[in-house]
Chains A and B, each alone.
Chain A
Amino acid sequence: MAISIRLHRLLWFGIMLCPVVLAAADRARDLQLGDVRGGVVKPFASGAQASVAFFVATDCPVSNAYAPEIQRVCRDYSARGVACSLIYEDIDTTPHSSTLLQQVRGHLDEFKYTSMPAALDEDRAAAGAVKASITPTAVVVDRGGNIRYRGRIDNLYAALGKTRQQITSHDVRDALDAVLAGRPVPHPNTEPIGCFITDPALLRTHAHE
């Protein structure tokens, strides 16, 4: 199918962009988003021992299925000085609608994300800064704010709708362990499986014609 070839190309292109991602670290490091519950979120800022941001969407069944594991990762690593955040990639044809914000707040309650900083990335500033195109994607930065890992949380999903009975690769945890130990991350880029992050410009071009 033409479309899938094109997507593959995009993906390949994305992988080729790795050095660019690292170069774009400055842009990510300074990124600041509003927390949906008040305050600000700096998902890739320097300072913490390491930071991990999870790109999710309220309606993505794959990122929803990961809610308990995201919470476990954050709980397990917070004692080791790791900062966690959630970045919602929800979208509406009407920009900045209040319903979307309410939807995210409701989702936080529903999936028991009680204390984690959470931002709505409606303009794709965060996704663009670190070239995230799928939910869920995890991005790990070290204490200097350098991007050290970007990709899947683990290998639960072999394909959409095809889950492993046993997880054999805990990629985010491995990346955090490596960063905390000052080692290189074994696989700094993995391919996430889940829902596409929609480009708002594309969506809104024809929405109200």
Chain B
Amino acid sequence: MSRCRIFCLLALALLLVILFRPALAWPQDARGRSATTAVASGGRVTFAETIAPIVYANCVTCHRPGEAAPFSLMSYEDVAKRGALIAKVTAARYMPPWHAAHGYGEFADERRLTDAQIAAIGEWVRQGMPRGDDAKMPRLPEFADGWHLGKPDLILEMPVSYGVPAAGPDQFRNFVIPTKLAEDKWVRAVEFRPSARKVVHHAIFSWIKGGSAAARDGADGKPGFAGIGLPSLGDANSGPLGGWATGGTPAFLPEGLAGRLPAGSDFVLQIHFHLSGKPETERSLVGFYFADKAPERTLINVDAPALFSFGKGLDIAPGVKDFSVDDSVVLPVDVRAYGVTAHAHYLGKAMKADATLPDGTTRPLLWIADWDFNWQDSYRYKQPFDLPKGTRIDVKVVYDNSTDNPRNPRNPPRRVKFGLQSRDEMGAVSLMATAKTKDDEQALITFLGERARTAGQAGFKNGDLARVQQDLRVAEAPSQRITLVDRQGASLATMGDPGLFAQPAFSPDGTRVAAILTNRDSGYRNVWVYDADGKGKALTAGEEPDSTPVWSPDGRQIAYVRADADTNGIYISAADGSGRAELAYKHTDGAPLFLTDWSNAGLLCFWTGDTLYVLPLKGDRKPVQLFKGRAGRISPDGRLIAYSDNNGGGPMKTYVRPLNLSAPATEAVQVYDGTALGGLVWRADGKALTFTSLQVLQISGVWQVEIIDTPTLAVGKPQMLFKPVGVGTPAQLSNFATRDLERFVTLVPVR
């Protein structure tokens, strides 16, 4: 392995270390609760004496005006109206929300009603919800307006508002806010004040090196960027700062602990939005409370599996109900445990962590029996406790990829591997701890770094890294607008909404455009067709990626490539989307296959590896291998083929030669002295051809050259037309110009 590769792996490992960890600052816990109010069996239960104390102590933190819960529970009327519902949800322990198994680890501020309290509510509803004597009603708790922890040392606001739509899947959005700090600060607490509390379900805080998310921020034309991964690039370049969930109130870290917020860093606010049925606008405020000096000890996450299962071989077959990942970590030094968090995506079902001390005694750390992605709480232990060197922590994370899991993002279920997207999986339990002595701190950090490095190498080998990189590429690519330009490159018209496009192609009459559109949320790549009014319509759907649409000569059909695990199918669909797609040919070699032409004579032309093929659509549809080359384009009369080739590793050149399927290839004529690759479109009369020139791997121009067919094949002097802002990869293009070579379809970034 080269030095660079090792470095990159390390960087990635560290990147993943910091993903998804609402640690370092305390979870913002719900308020304290009053003691249980017992109900004498058979006695009359009234709101004033029995129910109000329960509701005020356990429900109104969230169920009051301006808070996230859907309705208030501040008065007799509020509660009685919903008595049956409250009895049901408390009996089912759906409310108050708390997902750690009771008794499996002792947590501070556990949101939990006693059995007696639940029984009292049920009994009260059964008795017809008597009001009781108002004089005996407890006082409503008082809630501080404004900042709970006093005036913050630093207040950051989202630079612009974010529009939250009315309906659709939950959104995960990251907002980048420059801190403009001149020096490092130590954060004792972060207080989060969302503006649209009805739709903000939880938030995760982190910092990144200033400017490092610039490529992703706003890439899709909206503030921030989508995704549940953070854009961090290395150990020194990012760090966690805790989180907030519905019902949370801010708290200072215990025992003088603090998290670092470096000078010049950007604060990244990741918000999970639950859509409410109507549009909302979010513009959050975040308050920071700083310590005077660096803390004596650093809070460290001990993750199992390391890197949230990156490289762990997560590969969950469809239909599997109990896919279990086990991992153990033996502590290299004495540590003090303060809290614990868990993470998985929608297939996550359960997670459990236990510690076995060197003397053989065991201690439960956390058990979430019914994982809910919506409640990514951090759990703070009631009393911090020590785990001696040699303690083994055993973690089990269980996934359910069957249709019995209602949260399964896909139906029917599909094979799922490690990834950053919510349709992918990852999972771990993280113990939030410090080294017990300052001397041991570095040893603990080194040990965890080594675990992460090992996982990183495994992820490089098993393909996890490649998938993560692909996701990041999509996330960082700016949206483009399909833009029609003239021969000087001047804009004539645009089509459709901005998106992530590839391989745009004109219909033969030049009125419509087919292109591949990547959906940023799902990652799906499908064929879209845009009509003369610029309206777009999906021609294909689904997860298998589509590519290289080409139009039939009559404009009625579109052929494209659809890839699955190890085959490439060439499909043909009606251009208006009617009927079913027809599989024209299946290429069983898994290498990428690019379709670049559908000739007047009914030949499809594609290239894979470095070799050109034609596929006659008549007869038995056996592909004919031509010769080395790519981006093949057949002349309108079918007698010539234009293509590009690098002659075994040299610069790309573009050629024209006679096309004869039954005879050996004859001499080719080079159309341009410089580097030229693809972008080949024949004029309808067959006497001119476009191509694109490259300089340092960038498209430097769109050209036109005259083609002289008789008496001998020859070319005229190439003429540069314009330098396009963007067209995609030229070797994958088909009709990127109209047949009169008067208009070109380009992809212009919109940021």
Contacts and interface: CB of A to CB of B under 8 A. Distances in A.
A17 interface: no
Nearest to B122: A3
Nearest to A206: B130
A195 B85 contact: yes
B4 interface: no
Interface residues of B, number: 44
A6 to B, nearest CB: 8
A159 B129 CA distance: 25
A207 B80 contact: yes
Interface string A68-80: 1100000000000
Nearest to B375: A161
Nearest to A194: B85
Contacts, number: 119
A4 interface: yes
B621 to A, nearest CB: 36
A209 B80 CA distance: 14
A165 B408 contact: yes
Contacts of A159: 94, 406
B278 A110 contact: yes
A7 B92 CA distance: 12
B116 to A, nearest CB: 12
Nearest to B80: A203
B346 A165 contact: yes
B77 interface: yes
Contacts of A207: 76-77, 80, 131
Contact of B85 (A64, A112, A196): A196
Nearest to B126: A3
Nearest to B84: A196
B166 A67 contact: yes
Contacts of A166: 408-411
Contacts of A202: 128-129
Contacts of B169: 165
A205 to B, nearest CB: 5
Contact of B70 (A64, A112, A196, A205): A64
A71 to B, nearest CB: 9
B71 interface: yes
A195 B91 contact: no
Contacts of B85: 195-196
A182 to B, nearest CB: 26
B111 to A, nearest CB: 14
Given A161-B374, A198-B81, A205-B128, A3 B277 contact: no
Interface string B380-413: 0000000000000000000000000011111100
Contacts of A23: none
Interface in B123-166: 125-126, 128-132, 166
A93 B77 contact: yes
A65 B168 CA distance: 10
B520 interface: no
Contact of B407 (A68, A91, A165): A165
Given A93-B77, A166-B408, A207-B77, A7 B88 contact: yes
Interface in A154-209: 158-166, 168, 195-196, 198, 202-203, 205-209
B276 interface: yes
B82 interface: yes
B81 A203 contact: yes
Contacts of B84: 7, 196, 198
Interface in A54-97: 59-61, 64-69, 91-93
B277 A64 contact: yes
Interface of A: 1-4, 6-7, 59-61, 64-69, 91-93, 110-112, 158-166, 168, 195-196, 198, 202-203, 205-209
